[in-house]
Amino acid sequence: MTKKILILPGDGIGPEIVAEAEKVLQALRADFGLDVETEQALIGGAATDAEGTSLPEQTLALARQADAVLLGAVGGPRWDALERHLRPERGLLAIRAELGLFGNLRPAILYPQLADASALKPEVVAGLDILIVRELTGGIYFGEPRGIDTVDGVRRGYNTLVYSEPEVERIARLAFDIAGKRQGRVTSVDKANVLEVSELWRETVTRLAGDYPGITLEHMYVDNAAMQLVRAPKQFDVVVTGNMFGDILSDCAAMLTGSIGMLPSASLNESSQGLYEPVHGSAPDIAGQGKANPLATILSLAMLLRYSLGEGVLAERVEGAVGKVLDQGLGTPDIRRPGMREVGTTAMGDAVVAALGEAG
Ligand code: IPM
Ligand code: MG
């Protein structure tokens, strides 16, 4: 049956990078028998401008019908001054919540061709392949009560960090299942020395580990995890953590690989419907200049093929093509090293399409 992909270009560099992933998708349909149809819709600031809301009903309805959603990026200074509910980020948080996308997979893989693009010494990051599994629909991002009010004439702002046992269980299971297909090691990151919510998190993850005899579980406080990520990142295989800790640690992990422009992500719900997006943002400073790196979006498309369409072989073909263009020494400005040839967004996308058909 024909699978449906909803494409949400979003803001800033979003439309440029998504266009390159669409070229790859088009080539997979034309030359490799992929049976998909695509539709486009608005999200983020682009939607706020056109419809007065960052997640229009129409977009959400299309997303619900789709097997997978491919998203560019949302946000930009133009919308920063708007009220919170009109901000582009609201649209992203709302679509995650509405589709129940609790499981956010953020792999940080160092391509050997980019070893010296990392801020860390090559030997510290060579061969790096870690996966951050971030809980995405709970925690402090969504906890109630939240707000800003005035008590005795003093303004205060507050949020609530809350996790229920079932929420911890499902994200932990996802991490354990995935670790079983990798090196079998899970590091659960929390702040159990201070927070009750982390105490419950830790107990729950420990209890579940009993169901996974093949997995080694370790616990780490978040401050130490941040330090260990830059000190000795290769000690990690799968890192599982809550929404806000995962937000912070995944940016940190991204930078180990040299450029956040290389990192894809998948956000999955319980029926393997998924939303796929690059980890980087909308980069308004370089939007429209044709120099954004489309590889994180193209690699997000590979994750989409693997996790939501069951097309693991095609996913590997796309990932292989990305490896080949790096072997050819092509690089957008964010990853270009001495000796590499600088290319723009569209040339990079074209090179990946050309490499798709090459053997090996
Ligand atoms: C991310 C982003 C988002 C988040 C923002 C844009 C709401 O930083 O996907 O990591 O905090 O989740
Ligand atoms: Mg983030």
- Atom number, ligand 1, closest to the C-alpha of residue 244: 11
pLDDT in tens, the chain (360 residues): 899 999 999 999 999 999 999 999 999 999 999 999 999 999 999 999 999 999 999 999 999 999 999 999 999 999 999 998 889 999 999 999 999 999 999 999 999 888 888 889 999 999 999 999 999 999 999 999 999 999 999 999 999 999 999 999 999 999 999 999 999 999 999 999 999 999 999 999 999 999 999 999 999 999 999 999 999 999 999 999 999 999 999 989 988 988 888 999 999 999 989 999 999 999 999 999 999 999 999 999 999 999 999 999 999 999 999 999 999 999 999 998 888 999 999 999 999 999 999 865
Query: For tokens 């980087």, what's the residue?
Result: 280
Strand 274-278 relative to strand 264-268: parallel, antiparallel, unpaired?
antiparallel
DSSP designation for 257: T
Q: What is the pLDDT of residue 85?
A: 83
Query: Token pair of 302, please?
Result: 């590979």
Same domain, 124 and 248: yes
Q: What is the pLDDT of residue 324?
A: 97
Give the contacts of 242 (CB within 8 A, at least 6 positions apart): 134, 135, 138, 139, 140, 161, 163, 190, 201
- Atom number, ligand 1, closest to the C-alpha of residue 251: 10
Phi-psi region of 152 (alpha: psi -120 to 50; beta: other; left: phi over 0): left
92 lines ligand 1 (CB under 6 A): yes
The answer to whether the beta carbons of residues 316 and 42 sit under 8 Å apart is no
Same domain, 243 and 290: no
pTM of the model: 0.95
The answer to whether 191 is a known catalytic residue is: yes
Ligand 2 centroid, distance to 247 Cα (angstroms): 5
Tell whether 360 is covered by a domain.
yes
The answer to whether 141 is a known catalytic residue is: yes
Please give the torsion angle defined by the CA atoms of residues 243, 248, 249 and 254, in that order, rounded to the nearest 10 degrees.
Answer: 120
Same domain, 39 and 142: no
Tell whether 238 is covered by a domain.
yes
Tell whether 110 is covered by a domain.
no
Q: Which residue owns the Cα nearest ligand 1 atom 9?
A: 279
- Closest residue by Cα to residue 47 from 57, 38, 56: 56
The answer to whether 251 is a known catalytic residue is: yes
Q: Which residue owns the Cα nearest ligand 1 atom 1?
A: 247
Ligand 2 centroid, distance to 280 Cα (angstroms): 8
The answer to whether 327 is a known catalytic residue is: no
Last residue of a domain, one of 205, 226, 257: 257
Q: Which residue owns the Cα nearest ligand 1 atom 10?
A: 247
Q: What is the pLDDT of residue 117?
A: 83
Ligand 1 centroid, distance to 186 Cα (angstroms): 23
DSSP designation for 279: S
Split into its structural domains, the chain has a count of: 2
Residue 53, domain CATH: 3.40.718.10
Query: Is the dihedral angle over the CA atoms 95, 161, 241, 262 positive or is it negative?
Result: positive
Residue-number span of the structural domain to which 238 is assigned: 119-257
Last residue of a domain, one of 242, 257, 272: 257
89 lines ligand 1 (CB under 6 A): yes
Same domain, 252 and 333: no
Same domain, 252 and 268: no
Tell whether 306 is covered by a domain.
yes
Q: What is the pLDDT of residue 360?
A: 59
Strand 216-221 relative to strand 264-268: parallel, antiparallel, unpaired?
unpaired
Last residue of a domain, one of 208, 230, 257: 257
Q: What is the pLDDT of residue 23?
A: 98
Ligand 1 pocket test: which of 71, 104, 247 has the largest number of ligand atoms within 8 Å of its C-beta? Answer: 247
Tell whether 308 is covered by a domain.
yes
Q: What is the pLDDT of residue 84?
A: 85
Nearest listed ligand to the Cα of residue 44: 1
Give the contacts of 162 (CB within 8 A, at least 6 positions apart): 138, 139, 140, 143, 197
Query: Is the dihedral angle over the CA atoms 134, 135, 139, 140 positive or is it negative?
Result: positive
Tell whether 292 is covered by a domain.
yes
The answer to whether 247 is a known catalytic residue is: yes
